[in-house]
Amino acid sequence: MISKVLVTGANGQLGRTVRELYERDTSIDFVFTTKQELDITQNQRLETFFENSKFDYCINCVAYTNVEQAELHPDLAFKVNTEGVKNIARECKKHEVVLIHISTDYVFDGKKQTPYVEDDVPNPINQYGKSKLAGETYIREILEKYFIVRTSWLYSKYGNNFLKTIIRKIKDKEQLQITTSQRGTPTSCSDLSEFIVYLIKNKTSKFGIYNFSALGETTWYGYAMEICKHFSAYDCKKIIPVNTFTSRVKRPDYSILDNTKTARVFKTKILWQKSVNKTVNALIGKH
C-alpha cells in the first residue's frame, strides 16, 4: 500500500532535501507544497486542501526560524509556529492523517549539563523557542497519532544556514569571530530526512516526541573549524574563538539531544563531522 504524504514548506531546506532524496521513490506518493501554494496560517485554504486529498501523513516543514527577528516580531513567529501548527493538527485529526512535525532544541533553556531526553521539562528562553513549544503543545492536545521530532543546528545545501554562511565568508577571505559559549550538534537535513521517511515506510506506530541529531557535540567555533579544513587556500587561524557574541536573543548554552529513544526505532549512528564533510564536499564540488 503506497502512502500518500503531504510535505508543507517544500521550499525550505528540509522540504527541498526530502524532495531531492525521495521524490522519485515509488513506494511513497509525495505532494510537495510551498507557502504560496498552501499557507498553513490560512485555515480555510488548509481545510479545502485536506478535504480534496486523502493523505496518510503530513510532514510539516513550515517554520518561522529567524531567531533574531522572532524576538522583534514574536507575533509573526507565533502565527506560523503556533497557530499554523494548530491548524494543521486539527486537519490531521479530522482526516486521520499522521502528523510528523519538526521542532527544536530551543524548547530547552540550556542549563542542563547532560544531553536532553524527550521527557525533560521544556523551558524556552527566547520567542522562537516559546512559539515552537506552544505549537508542540497544540499537537499533543489535539492528536494521538503524531511524531514531534526535535532536532538541532540544522543545515543543508539549501537556504540560509551556518554552514553555507561560513563557506561564503571563507571564500571571501574574511576574518571571523565565532562563539565557543554554546554547545550543540550540527545535524544534516539529509540525515533527518532519512529518519522521517523511515517512520513512514515502516508504518511506525510508537507515536510521540523523538530527538534526532547527529552524534557528538561541538561549539559553533568547532563547527566552523571543521568546515575550514576543506579550504587549503584559507588560513584557519583567521577564525578566532570568542566567548560571547553580540545578539539581542538569549540562546541555550547547552542543547545536546539524547538520541537513545530514537535509536530503538531507527538504527543508525551518524557522527556530525562525517555529515558536515559530506555536505561541504557537495557544495564545493568534491565527491
Q: Where are the alpha helices (DSSP H) in the chain?
A: 13-22, 43-52, 67-72, 74-78, 85-95, 127-142, 162-171, 189-201, 220-228, 260-265, 272-284
Catalytic residue among 57, 116, 128, 223: 128
CA dihedral 140, 146, 152, 154 (to 10 degrees): -130
Cβ-contact 245, 138 below 8 angstroms: no
Grid coordinates given for 188:
544534516
Closest CA relative to residue 78, chosen from 137, 142, 150: 137
SS3 148: strand
Q: Is 128 a catalytic residue?
A: yes
Closest CA relative to residue 14, chosen from 55, 65, 54: 65
Neighbours of 111 (CB within 10 A): 10
**Using CA atoms, how far apart are residues 89 and 257, in angstroms rounded to an integer?**
25
SS3 100: strand
Q: What residues are annotated to the active site? A: 128
